[in-house]
Amino acid sequence: VSDTDSILLITLTLILVFIWFGITITTFINREHSIILAASKNFCFVILTGIFIGYCSIFTYVGEPTEVSCYLRPILICLSFV
């Protein structure tokens, strides 16, 4: 993977993290809204947490592989789907 691909991947991931942050803040502010209550507040935040962990797992694939990043890859991927 070239440096350009890595920069593009990190940039896209950071944009998605900012979008996730906005959605999380919006969900927290409107947690008493009927749509959020119908979907269950806890369920919404569990899903949002899994999405964030999935986004964070991308950072373990960029750069030189280290022992820590190799250990974290499967753990983060599994946690994002739980």
Q: What is the full per-residue pLDDT of the chain (82 aa) written as tens digits? A: 578 888 999 999 999 999 999 999 999 999 999 999 999 989 999 999 999 999 999 999 988 899 999 999 999 999 998 7
The alpha carbon of residue 8 and the mean position of all alpha carbons in its chain are separated, in whole angstroms, by 17
Q: What is the pTM of this model?
A: 0.85
Q: What is the pLDDT of residue 82?
A: 76
Q: What is the pLDDT of residue 1?
A: 57
In angstroms, the CA 16 to CA 10 distance is 10
Tally Cβ neighbours within 10 Å of residue 57. 20
